[in-house]
């Protein structure tokens, strides 16, 4: 019998980030361009397939907070 190790469901790894982006109408392609990565890299990072660089997290947080007019913490946005 094959056993599987427990992994995160990659579709909801950064659920808060996905929800905030959707609620604010922030386009992921535009966000990828803003942080200087490709759409595919952003997709992979959101799915947990690639790791984030700290400066990317800060840029995303600043962009979200600018659009939202409120302060979202990194802990909230990138909660797993």
Residue 80 has pLDDT above 90, yes or no: no
pLDDT score of 7? 45
Residue 32 has pLDDT above 70, yes or no: yes
In this prediction the pTM is: 0.81
Per-residue pLDDT tens over the stretch 57-68: 999 999 999 999
Residue 8 has pLDDT above 60, yes or no: no
User: CA geometry: angle at 55 spanning 69 and 20, to 5°?
Assistant: 35
The CATH class for the domain spanning 11-75 reads mainly alpha
Residue spans of the domains in the chain: they are 11-75
Instruction: Name the one residue in this structure whose structure tokens are 């797993």.
Output: 80
Rounded (10°) angle between helices 54-68 and 15-24: 40
pLDDT score of 11? 63
Which helix H or strand E contains 32, and what residues bound it?
helix 28-35
């Amino acid at each position: 019998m094959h056993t599987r190790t427990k992994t995160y469901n990659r579709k909801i790894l950064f659920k808060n980030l996905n929800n905030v982006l959707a609620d604010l109408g922030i386009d992921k392609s535009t966000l990828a361009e803003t942080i200087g990565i490709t759409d595919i890299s952003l997709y992979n990072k959101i799915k947990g397939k690639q790791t984030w660089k700290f400066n990317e997290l800060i840029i995303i947080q600043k962009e979200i907070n600018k659009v939202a007019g409120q302060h979202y913490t990194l802990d909230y946005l990138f909660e797993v």
